[in-house]
Amino acid sequence: MASTKTETRKYKREYMREYRKKESSKVYQRRFHQNYCRANYERLWELKKFTGCLRCELKDPRCLDFHHRDPDEKNRVVATMTAHCWTTIKAEIAKCEILCANCHRIETFRQQEYAGKE
């Protein structure tokens, strides 16, 4: 280990150079992943905005959910799939309809009520 102030600075400088070389690929991967997820999130947002609620025609994407028509076919929650490839997301969206939060709660209640009567 370095003993004088200048030796310490040289050591730290060299250490940080090596550290940045090793970590630069991780930083790139992290940024790529963040941009990838953000792009998928924006695609989902635009889809909700364009489609709107199928029942009451509300178009505000903040209030819209993906409702699985058949809960048994559900693999994942669409809103949490932003890290997946778009084809996987589209396959899950194909099993869904877009509903506003109120219509989604009502429909879910109906499905659960129906399932309870069997």
DSSP per position, 33-97? HHHHHHHHHHHHHHHHHHH--TTT----GGGEEEEESSGGG--S-GGG-TTS-HHHHHHHHTTEE
Q: What is the pLDDT of residue 100?
A: 96
Q: What is the pLDDT of residue 5?
A: 86
Residue ranges of domains in the chain:
5-117
Q: What is the pLDDT of residue 112?
A: 87
Q: What is the mean pLDDT of each run of 10 residues along the chain (118 residues)?
A: 80 89 82 94 96 94 94 91 95 96 94 72
Q: What is the pLDDT of residue 29?
A: 87
Q: What is the pLDDT of residue 2?
A: 54
Q: In this structure, are residues 54 and 66 in contact, taking their beta carbons and an 8 Å threshold?
A: no
Give the three-state DSSP class for 1. Answer: coil
